Amino acid sequence: MKKNSELQKLRSKIDEIDLMIVELLNKRAQIVLEVGRAKQSNRLKIHSQVREKAILRKLQDSNTGPFPNEALKLIYEEILSASVALQQPLKIAYLGPSATFTHFAARRKFGSSSEYLSESTIKEVFEAVFRSKVNYGVVPIENSTEGVVNYTLDMFMDSDLMIASEIVLEISHNLLSKSGKKADVRKIYSHPQARAQCRSWLERNFPGVQIIDEISTAAAAKRVSRSPDSAAVASELAASVYGLNIIEKGIEDNKKNVTRFMVIAKESPGRTGKDKTSIMFTIKDKPGALFLILRPFSRHKINLTKIESRPSKRKAWEYMFFVDMGGHIDDKNVMKAIKDVQKECLFFKVLGSYPSADE
């Protein structure tokens, strides 16, 4: 009885604290509404990534435990999402249908209080942002196993949209079907990137079985939900959404399988102190041209985190280079390096400066 009495006292304390948390959240919400009115009267944007990043960093830096920092971050991301929605709900376009990894990444970034618009292609996501149907768009840019998503890079060539943020997400693939039985599988549907990330596992376990490409992993799951002799390579979220059973979990060949997504908008945010800048350019056709491009980054002590080349599609054997670097366009060293680089380029474009994701 004494032990039960002590337990009840502890639970009563937790109940009191929970009520205090709710009361404080509502006090916070009242101030958020006042902030929203102040922003509207001054014609300021409702959503500020710089402010959100500063809040999350301050909270994590001041957390002494034992409550884990990652859980604190997740909770406050939802609080911030709900706070923005009180002022004006954010609208987010993503590469759909529902339950794609891009959808999951978007929800991870913007929280459950935002409104989400599914688009069938990456081009449609860009168009939704350009036409102001949404505030932001989310598209995949590269995978740690299979490299860049070329179509996303191609879209940046002609688009005036900017990169506003990045999302880094661990990806785990599963084999799904109606029955959940391996013996029933005659065909497998998958997005080409997901298929490539699970190539060895599929070859070992389903040799000779036809694998058919779909526009997304969620589209593959949706098709399989109507086909009892088929399976899909997709997420656990897709299994839940489309009523499928899991034949095998974690079928990706590389268990450290990470995908990077870009958040696109009409403008990039200001400095946060932990930023990246992305640029694209074509270079002059002469000996040492690439060396002359890279030298200013070294001289100004700028770390290049990615360099990728693609045919420009404008002239035979002309290549477009995509580069990610540490720092913000407003940083003096980044500004100086870019000025020097532009002198050696035929074409040059800044794609945006944005908060670096917490890897």
- Residues designated as active site: 259, 261
Q: What percent of the residues of the chain are helix, what percent strand, and what percent coil, each to the nearest 5?
A: 45, 25, 30
- Give the residue carrying structure tokens 């006090």: 27
341 close to 296: Cβ distance less than 8 angstroms: yes
3-class secondary-structure state, position 293: helix
**Residue 10 CA: distances (Å) to CA of 6, 23, 178, 199, 241:** 6, 20, 46, 52, 39
231-266 in b/e burial notation, b at 16+ Cβ within 10 A? bbbbbbbbbebbebeebeeebbbeeebebbbbbbbe
- Cβ neighbours for 116, distance < 8 A, ≥ 6 positions apart: 91, 92, 93, 94, 103, 106, 107
Dmax (CA) of the chain: 86
User: Which of these, 236, 257, 240, 258, lies nearest to 248 by C-alpha position?
Assistant: 236
In degrees and rounded to multiples of 5, residue 350 shows phi and psi of -90, 125
Q: How far apart are CA 318 and CA 157, in angstroms?
A: 13
127-154 in b/e burial notation, b at 16+ Cβ within 10 A? bbbeeeebbbbbbbbbbebbebbeebbb
